[in-house]
Structure 1
């Protein structure tokens, strides 16, 4: 089995738990009362990108909802 398949298999429970954590954030952006949760969801994504080794991660304010940006520019 290739390494990526082994990695996915060994971390499946963690990935599922993280996804469920994200889905629990009530971040329906069409509802104004969820604005703080939309920001929380953006921060959550930014934290996960940073933990994955993505560089230059930013939560960018916009006229509407925040955008999350990250890059990793070391491809061979």
Structure 2
């Protein structure tokens, strides 16, 4: 029997894939200075997605390099903390 999460993911697969493709279309090549604004745009995209699923205190935070994206949801006292870490930039096509 499938879990509720798996059932939900299956039903939302088309939307999830579309949103992923939208992110991947942003030419956020972090190794190329001419794409600095695109990297920022990708960070803003991720931040908006985080807001749309209910995360709070979402921020795009500047750093000496590329911005990091932070969000939290602190409404489950006594439950484990979950940290998700990943990158939102892409690699050049060559």
Q: TM-score range by the shorter chain?
A: over 0.9
**Matched residues in 1 for 2:40 and 2:3: separation?**
37
**Higher share of residues assigned helix:** 1
Q: Which residue of 1 aligns with 2:50?
A: 49
Computed over aligned residues only, the root mean square deviation of the Cα atoms, in angstroms, reads 0.8
Q: Which residue of 2 aligns with 1:18?
A: 19
**Matched residues in 1 for 2:40 and 2:32: separation?**
13
Task: Note the residue ranges of structure 2 that are not aligned, 5 or more in a row.
Answer: 80-94
Q: CA deviation at 1:3?
A: 1.1
TM-score, normalised via structure 2 length: 0.77
**Matched residues in 2 for 1:55 and 1:5: separation?**
24
Give every structure 1 segment of 4 or more consecutive aligned residues whose post-TM-superposition deviation is greater than 6 Å. none
TM-score, normalised via structure 1 length: 0.95
**Matched residues in 1 for 2:6 and 2:16: separation?**
13
Task: Note the residue ranges of structure 1 that are not aligned, 5 or more in a row.
Answer: none
Task: State yes or no: 1:29 paired with 2:4.
Answer: no
**Matched residues in 2 for 1:6 and 1:58: separation?**
31
Q: CA deviation at 1:22?
A: 0.5
